[in-house]
Structure 1
Amino acid sequence: MFNIETVKQIKIAYIGGGSKGWARSLMSDLALDERMSGMVALYDLDFEAALQNEAIGNLSGNGKWRYEAVSSLKKALSGADVTVISILPGTLDHMETDVHLPEQFGIYQSVGDTVGPGGIIRGLRAAPMFADIACAIRDYAPDSWVMNYTNPMSVCTRMLYKVFPDIKAFGCCHEVFGTQKLLCEMVKERLGLNVKQREDIKVNVLGINHFTWVTEASFRHIDLVPVFQEFAAQYAETGYEPSGESWRDSVFHSAHRVAFHLFETYGAIPAAGDRHLAEFFPAFYLKDPEKWKFHLTSVGYRKQESLRRKKETDHMIKQKQGAALKASGEEGVNMIAALLGLGDLMTNVNLPNEGQAANLPMGAIVETNAYITRNRVQPIFSGTLPKRLEMLANRHISNQEAVAEAGFTQDDSLAFQAFINDPLITLDRADAERLFREMLSCNQIGAR
């Protein structure tokens, strides 16, 4: 028997339930949490992958959670208290086109899932998928809280609201956490103080996903922005790497040189990794990633990782092994608990702008802090971006709105306008249109 004061029986619908990354993290975090129990309905277009996660999930933890692969969105969503969306819009072959076909035209991308030619085409693929998901949530789980982890975050979350305006959805991203961890390292090095956990660094977050900025930061009574100014100046040329670490250790690591340069340029602390930040500007950083000490993550690497995870999954099934019980560092489970009234939480989320980002367009999906409590996600007023950052953010917001509309209506003309408006598209119009058409063709998307 569970203590009813600490444990609530709930249903989680997991769309993308065959995931070998995010789903396993959720399994681990749910097993480690003592406040909740219930069932997780795993829906995936790859039903076999969902069945594998059913087996792994039911071997994880102490049996508080029951996992079940289901064959339809209706079965997954019916009765759901919380819906998690974590899908790959398309395939890794599609993503390979997103990232590497533009290289034939001299355009390089470090991630290719948010902005740039890759992010735009991925958004066009994702928009109709998220329209279908929104319709299903409206029909089968209209009161469910919806947590989206899928990129392009802004386009996908915007589509949910576009199709179902009363949806209770928000986008979740961990990039700000990395900035908080960097500030912890800075406090230790420059002030000689240990920060027990990244949450002890208080930040005012403002912007759009992966182009997010910290305009205020503190630890206890200490204003950290002036400290960061000195920190960034010290490591602007060399980059910052804690002792024993190297940006070359992982394709996802960097030495923060892009972030330091952007702080010196704009006066706000960038709150995303260098790989994401670099793509929001003309190819200033992307033309020489070695100089700036970050990676262009190839889709070939992602495919190798996918094969490794498939082998790992087969081994886990054969050995009847559950997910490793190790905290992921994500906040999804704490968010769910807060929504259930089991502990309030202040964190960063992506929501339609109701004024929390004062100088960004109303209704656009913006990322700011929010207070999560029982059955409520309340965005926190975060002030205004510096004017020069506002101008850059608005350009991308305009594109994201156009991509959501074009993906939903299959309007190639509108999609192309967003495509050529992206800062990474520096081609003449004829070459830009040729690249656009080739990418659409490879993805089998476009006007019907």
Structure 2
Amino acid sequence: MNVYESVSNVKIAYIGGGSRGWAWGLMSDLAMEPQLSGHVKLYDVNLEAAQSNEKIGNRLSERKDVVGKWTYEAVQTLAEALEGADFVIISILPGTFHQMRSDVHLPEQYGIYQSVGDTVGPGGLIRALRTIPMYVEFAEAIKEYCPDAWVINFTNPMTLCVRTLYEVFPKIKAIGCCHEVFGTQKLLARMVEELQGDKQVHRAEIKVNVLGINHFTWIDKATYQGTDLMPLYDDFANKYYKEGYELSSAGHWMNSTFASAHRIHFDLFLKFGLIAAAGDRHLAEFMPLHWYLKNPETVKSWKFGLTTVEWRLENRDKLIETSKKLVSGEESVELKSTGEESIGMMKALLGLEDLITNVNMPNRGQMGGIKEGAVVETNAYFSADSVRPVLAGTLPPSINKMVVAHSYNQETILKAALEKDKKLAFSAFLNDPLVMIDVKSSSELFNQMLVNTKEYLPGWEL
């Protein structure tokens, strides 16, 4: 039952509020939502970037075509941002592009290629080691300044970010929000249009049961208007397995850093019988190195790409120029939905509507075959001040053993980060399926990667 028609004076703390891209997307989503209004405090280690976004957000709110009215304020401290917040949004870059270059590209000198490098693999694990201390600080501050706020995390590595928040502040009300499953729903929507002749199927009409961990999620049930889509997907996967399938909205895989031809989707379905529910770039990193990431030629044969840090640097420079134009008024924020569900989540938590969507939360029995407390990704039911995970079931043994192995490795990294235990961290590094090199080379790579991120590892003996 919905309690209100609208809610004003909502207080949002945005950690990472100097973001160029994500912040503007949130501003657009808020500006297009007529049922919410309030105040957003922008906190960022780059205060100047947050101050720019303050000007951009307030200018946007003054426009006549904007129905959601918000004021934006850049603040200097985390405490200022969090004091009295109803919601906390976390979207940060943990470290700099210098550290990211080491995460993604140093392993290439040892024959280890990564398509993203932010969740698992050598890059994801080292990124986690420097991210976890930041999230310890966030959790402690949230406990002190806004313990009843709902926390929505967008930062990767998603699983460990959310897991750290709960480890430090067990009563925190935090969820991890990821759009990868949405991409798979869009793929299924296009499949229905093509194979059944339906027109303009929206991804939200595709109902799915989600199980797994972030970026390694699986769908064991999918329906459209009551029709079971699993047999249809079998036909679809077999039809496009060799040549791949392009989603026109994403761009051709050869011309886009983030697009793929979904060949890994189809290959994993034919191998295991369930629909992998993340993008090919992420899925590849959870599997043994030689499957999809043996070398650039192998990657190309599977029709996806390696996201280079050089591309990210070039994109950053473009965004900085865009920021200047938005601040000066030379350009305006485009009112366009991001497709994220954070606004819908907030509306549901405020009692305006109900929502079921996939989220990352500690396992409290919603997923079998994986230990309690580990962060898993399943559907959850959102209502007034409540998020209740939906019972998702258990993955088949052939898939579950892979998911559990990664989950235990992530738990090991969490313990290593909290205890500053280099030996324990190295054991997790060795256990990752992308690290298929000898122990001596693994040790050399691990130590150099740690040195390259040492400024974010206070108290470690390196």
TM-score (norm 2): 0.94
Matched, 1:420 2:426: no
Matched, 1:257 2:263: yes
RMSD of aligned alpha carbons: 1.3
Q: Which one-letter code corresponds to 2:27 in the other structure?
A: M
Which residue of structure 2 aligns with residue 346 of structure 1? 356
Separation in 2, partners of 1:319, 1:249? 31
Verify the 8 A CA contact 2:193 2:201 in the aligned structure 1.
no
- Residue 324 of structure 1 and its aligned partner are, at CA, apart by 1.5
Q: 2:343 aligns with which of 333, 338, 353?
A: 333
Separation in 1, partners of 2:389, 2:399? 21
Q: Alpha carbons of 1:307 and 1:396: their partners in 2 closer, same or farther (altered >3 Å)?
A: same
Separation in 2, partners of 1:389, 1:163? 30
Secondary structure of the structure 2 residue equivalent to 1:42: strand
Secondary structure of the structure 2 residue equivalent to 1:38: strand
Which residue of structure 1 aligns with residue 369 of structure 2? 359
C-alpha deviations, 1:34-64, integer Å up to 9, x for none? Answer: 1110000000000000000000010114471
5 Å matches for 1:365-384?
Answer: 365-384=375-394
Q: Which one-letter code corresponds to 2:373 in the other structure?
A: G
5 Å matches for 1:149-228?
Answer: 149-228=154-233
C-alpha deviations, 1:203-260, integer Å up to 9, x for none? Answer: 0000000000010000012100010001000111110125695221211000000010
5 Å matches for 1:295-334?
Answer: 295-319=305-329, 321-334=331-344
Separation in 2, partners of 1:320, 1:12? 28
Which residue of structure 2 aligns with residue 278 of structure 1? 284
5 Å matches for 1:61-80?
Answer: 61=61, 62=66, 64-80=69-85
Q: Which one-letter code corresponds to 1:281 in the other structure?
A: M
Which residue of structure 2 aligns with residue 21 of structure 1? 21
Q: Alpha carbons of 1:130 and 1:320: their partners in 2 closer, same or farther (altered >3 Å)?
A: same
Which residue of structure 2 aligns with residue 268 of structure 1? 274
Which residue of structure 2 aligns with residue 12 of structure 1? 12
- Residue 194 of structure 1 and its aligned partner are, at CA, apart by 2.3
- Residue 315 of structure 1 and its aligned partner are, at CA, apart by 1.2
TM-score (norm 1): 0.97
Secondary structure of the structure 2 residue equivalent to 1:371: strand
Which residue of structure 2 aligns with residue 229 of structure 1? 234
Secondary structure of the structure 2 residue equivalent to 1:60: helix
Q: Which one-letter code corresponds to 2:241 in the other structure?
A: A
C-alpha deviations, 1:7-31, integer Å up to 9, x for none? Answer: 3321000000000121111100000
Verify the 8 A CA contact 2:350 2:385 in the aligned structure 1.
yes
Separation in 2, partners of 1:319, 1:47? 20
Gaps of 5+ in 2: none
Which residue of structure 1 aligns with residue 453 of structure 2? 443
Q: Which one-letter code corresponds to 1:54 in the other structure?
A: E
Separation in 2, partners of 1:418, 1:51? 40
Separation in 2, partners of 1:412, 1:289? 32
Verify the 8 A CA contact 2:184 2:277 in the aligned structure 1.
yes
Q: Which one-letter code corresponds to 1:365 in the other structure?
A: V
- Residue 321 of structure 1 and its aligned partner are, at CA, apart by 4.7
Q: 2:86 aligns with which of 81, 85, 91?
A: 81
Deviates more, 1:239-248 or 1:321-330: 239-248
Secondary structure of the structure 1 residue equivalent to 2:101: helix
Verify the 8 A CA contact 2:192 2:201 in the aligned structure 1.
no
Deviates more, 1:321-330 or 1:218-227: 321-330
- Residue 320 of structure 1 and its aligned partner are, at CA, apart by 6.0
C-alpha deviations, 1:127-183, integer Å up to 9, x for none? Answer: 100000000000001000000000000111100000000000010000000000000
Q: Which one-letter code corresponds to 2:446 in the other structure?
A: F
Separation in 2, partners of 1:399, 1:195? 41
Verify the 8 A CA contact 1:146 1:168 in the aligned structure 2.
yes
Number of aligned residues: 445
Q: Which one-letter code corresponds to 1:126 in the other structure?
A: T
Verify the 8 A CA contact 2:190 2:201 in the aligned structure 1.
no
5 Å matches for 1:365-404?
Answer: 365-404=375-414
Separation in 2, partners of 1:197, 1:6? 26
C-alpha deviations, 1:88-122, integer Å up to 9, x for none? Answer: 11001100000000000000000000000000000
